[in-house]
Amino acid sequence: YENHHHVTITDGALQSAAELSSRYIQDRNLPDKAIDLIDEAGARLRIKRLTAPPELKELDEKIAKIAADKDEAIKGQDFEKAAELRDKQEKLEADRKQKEDSWREGESDVKMVVDEDVIAEVISSTTGIPVFKLTQAESKKLLNMEAELHKRIIGQDEAVSALS
């Protein structure tokens, strides 16, 4: 899958794929669902890399608008404005080509990495269940949750213990 999608898959991603797919995907059995999850993550990164950046789309829109304005100027016999718009269009087209070349150059060299976060993102989008890593602060809050609840809720020890 690394060669096919031109990505690098970390050991943590493999571990995460096995654990998360076992927990959140119920319609298949374990090696298959973990492998499918890794394949999906690699495919998503590859598609992300192959998708043109929004800057290029914006430049295309500007070029199309200037070309339409230039055609209107020609129809209206305003050749000075048409020449000015032609120069603008050529400048934008050269700028677009330069940006596209640099984007293509950069995308071929970089190998994207499938890690635990990418696996969690794929699980989240597939199942609709938000999957994320707890930060240390969140983990600490959850560990101290019972003590915090006991401070605020009095006489409900059994309920607080069951909740936390």
**How many whole angstroms separate alpha carbon 60 and alpha carbon 39?**
33
pTM above 0.75, yes or no: no
Average pLDDT of span 122-129: 82
Cα–Cα distance between 10 and 112 in angstroms, integer? Answer: 11
Provide the pLDDT for residue 65. Answer: 94
Residue-wise pLDDT for 37-87, tens only, equals 899 898 888 888 877 778 888 999 999 999 999 999 889 888 899 999 999
Tokens of 85: 């718009």
Q: Lowest-confidence range among 56-60, 81-85, 119-123, 140-144?
A: 140-144
More confident residue, 87 or 146: 87
Please say if the pLDDT value at position 30 is more than 60. Answer: yes
Euclidean distance between CA atoms 144 and 152, whole angstroms: 13
**Could you report the per-residue pLDDT of 66-78, keeping only the tens digit for each?**
999 999 988 988 8
